[in-house]
Homo-oligomer: A and B are copies of this chain.
Amino acid sequence: MNASDTQQRHELKVDLVAVVAAVIDGDPRALTIRRGSALPAGPFELGHRSLQAGLRDWVEQQTGHPLGYIEQLYTFADRDRIAEEHARRAISISYLGLTRDEWSASQPPRDWQSWYGYFPWEDHRAGAPSIIADAILPHLKAWTEEAGGTAREERRQRIAIAFGVDDRPWNEELVLQRYELLYEAALVEEALRGRGEEHTPPVPGRPMIADHRRILATGIARLRTKIKYRPVVFELMPPVFTLLQLQRAVEALAGRLVHKQNFRRLIEQQELVEETGETTFETGGRPAKLFRFRPAVLMERTAAGTKLSVTRA
């Protein structure tokens, strides 16, 4: 009805937004601009050969970083979320990119920000962060009380699943669901904007412009899901590495520790890597064998079914 009656211009602004991930100094990071307040982004223009090409252009232009592997994430267009930023309505097509931070001294340093500055509740490598029990759950509980009838039970249920309440396991993949819950409960800064209540949000975690933090959450969730069944960690690792370094990278992304022995067994039985024949003494204790990814794996990554399940520590 409204679609056909309303005769308006059918043209819209289309933005490309990039979540570019790398593991640096044992931390999972995202490439940002404006001192961490935004993701690299720019409009899709007629000069771009494709969406991907446009995205690469913008990222390289804004950060100086060339992109390797990228994949599409999601297309957003919620009027509510963007209304305050742009008078006009816009569509954001988001992508996930994976790289290493291969900076040369001649390049300006890039603005890599740790994921967990934006999502402090997502890093469970040293156990569940205390802010979950101290700040998040109490506020969410209060939020369930606000609702009545079936809505209250539904909220309780969503919270229990997302944050692993009452003996439910923590599921590291539900990054977006958790952020959305906090947004709906108005516990993050983005939810308070333009409401005249610009007070400090009750839950720590750095905000971003527009819905960039939501897009970042989408990218993290996708990556956490994907490492389990596709060999994508490769894109984030240097050409040669030890198994523990690989494990630390996976742990950084997943935000949880894994069982070392089982991790190695998994890696080796999947035939993802091969020994280079050399060892490194830089790791502290007994020298570790160095590995590289098997070329066949790099080729098959499009379709091969590889599982790199994040087993518990």
Complex Cα spacing A72 to B158, Å = 21
Give every chain B residue within 8 A of A162 (Cβ-Cβ): 303
Complex Cα spacing A162 to B2, Å = 43
Q: Which of B8, B13, B45 contacts A3 (CB 8 A)?
A: B45
Complex Cα spacing A154 to B303, Å = 12
Residue A104 interfacial (CB < 8 Å): no
- 9 of the cross-chain contacts (CB-CB < 8 Å) are A2-B47, A3-B58, A6-B46, A9-B46, A12-B13, A12-B14, A51-B77, A72-B75, A174-B303
Shortest CB distance A301–B (Å): 11
**CB pair B77 A3 closer than 8 Å:** no
Residue A11 interfacial (CB < 8 Å): yes
Residue A93 interfacial (CB < 8 Å): yes
Residue A290 interfacial (CB < 8 Å): no
Interface residues of A in 34-62 (CB under 8 A from B): 42-51, 54, 57-58, 61
Residue A161 interfacial (CB < 8 Å): yes
Q: A4-B61, A11-B13, A302-B158 are in contact. Are A77 and B44 (CB under 8 A)?
A: yes
Complex Cα spacing A48 to B42, Å = 24
Complex Cα spacing A2 to B158, Å = 46
**CB pair A78 B50 closer than 8 Å:** yes
Residue A279 interfacial (CB < 8 Å): no
Give every chain B residue within 8 A of A72 (Cβ-Cβ): 74-75
- For the residues of A in contact with B, the DSSP-based class is mixed
Complex Cα spacing A158 to B78, Å = 38
**CB pair B4 A303 closer than 8 Å:** no
Give every chain B residue within 8 A of A93 (Cβ-Cβ): 75, 91
Give every chain B residue within 8 A of A43 (Cβ-Cβ): 10
Interface residues of A in 143-176 (CB under 8 A from B): 154, 157-158, 161-162, 171, 174
Residue A1 interfacial (CB < 8 Å): yes
Give every chain B residue within 8 A of A61 (Cβ-Cβ): 3-4
Residue A66 interfacial (CB < 8 Å): no
**CB pair A10 B13 closer than 8 Å:** yes
